[in-house]
Amino acid sequence: MTGPVLRSHVIGCGSYLPENIVTNAELAAKVDTSDEWIRTRTGIRQRHIAAPGEKTSDLAVKAALAALANAGATADDIDMVVVATTTPDLTFPSVGTIVQRKLGMTRGFAFDVQAVCAGFIYAMSVADNFIKAGQAKSALVIGADTMSRILDWTDRTTCVLFGDGAGAVVLNAGEGGGTSEDRGVLNTVLFSDGRLHDLLYVDSGPSTNQSVGFIRMQGKEVFKHAVTNIAASVEASAAAAGVPVSAIDWFVPHQANQRILDGTAKKLKVDASRVVSTVALHGNTSAASVPLALSTAVADGRIQRGQLVLMEALGAGMTWGACLLRW
């Protein structure tokens, strides 16, 4: 496809992590685990946990304000807010509309996207398609989760893995020539397979038992699907843009486990130095993990204007996908 096309340009990004840091050693005092097990099996050293009363929308708003400041924009400039989350403040309304109110927005529209750990990729895809369709000129895309609220703190197989946080980007409609040389989102690829439900799910919900429930996971099985499906989605995204995987400057993966990051990079023959990793410091922050990692690598100067950036994630559902963009 060539000729003038609408592209979603990322004009700013930002993130927020709750103040309270919980180390592996602190967890080992509560459940039968060890710093050594957590580090060698996952790469995680610590995670941030939201304070009592601190809600997903609070994290989302702080990340949004950081992203808006980074973009040199204000909430008044935003046409749509899309929040990827699986831990909303309330069953309804959406975190999106709560964020809209807290940002003081009096126009536009806001909603949530629920694809668990793949949520930010899904939300980017939704916002990019609204922009390409001309229905919005700017979008605030947020990934925010307080996974600590749905952890069974007596289950050592899950409670050591997750953390809380939020990340956000501001998208603006821009023009491109329709080639992979364009700035902005070049493509998004999304996949899901509902048959894989039992590998990772929360065991309650409003229409099941009027409750919130806890995360249940078959870790080993999720791990296998993660490496295979993420590698396939990276290849699908690169192929759709007509670029080889080797041309991608930065990989910004969902941060679930350092061994998944390493296994995927090895499968794709990508050098580890091009993979952004924050899992040691953040743990798995679900929908927040990709924009948190992105913000980290932008803030420290690794990601530079004109470079190709590939974001990817896999989560419960199962859901997975990738988003390729030129910074």
Q: Which residues bind ligand UT7 (CB under 6 A)?
A: 33, 37, 41-42, 117, 156-157, 160, 200, 219-220, 222-223, 226, 256-257, 260, 284, 314-315
Of 297 and 314, the one with the shorter C-beta distance to ligand UT7 is 314
Measured from the CB of residue 152, what is the shortest distance to ligand UT7 in angstroms? 12
Q: Which residues contact 135 (CB under 8 A, 6 or more apart)?
A: none
Whether 187 sits among the annotated catalytic residues: the reply is no
**16: nearest Cα among 291, 323, 311, 298:** 291
Residues 98 and 85: beta-carbon distance below 8 Å: no
Q: Of residues 254, 257, 282, 323, which has the active-site annotation?
A: 254
Give the Cα separation of 32 and 29 in Å (integer).
8
Identify the three-state secondary structure at position 170: strand
- Smallest gap from Cβ 42 to ligand UT7, in A, equals 5
Is 13 catalytic? The answer is no
Smallest separation (angstroms) from ligand UT7 to the CB of 289: 8
> With respect to ligand UT7, which residue has the nearer C-beta, 188 or 284?
284
What are the tokens at 219? 């870790």
CB of 298 to ligand UT7, least distance (A): 22
**Cβ–Cβ < 8 Å for 151, 23:** no
CA gyration radius for the chain? 18
CA 235 to chain centre: 19
CB closer to ligand UT7, 131 vs 311: 311
Contact 49, 171 (CB under 8 A): no
How many residues comprise the chain?
Answer: 327
The half-sphere exposure of 162 on its side-chain side, counting CA atoms within 13 A, is 29
**What sign results for the dihedral spanned by CA atoms 280, 284, 288, 291?**
positive
Active-site pick, 70, 282, 284, 323: 284
Nearest to 116 by CA among 291, 317, 278, 323: 317
Whichever of 226 and 252 has its CB closer to ligand UT7, that residue is 226
Least spacing, CB of residue 184 vs ligand UT7, in Å: 27
129 is catalytic: no
For residues 131 and 202, which CB has a smaller minimum distance to ligand UT7 in the complex?
Answer: 202
Name the residues annotated as catalytic: 117, 254, 284
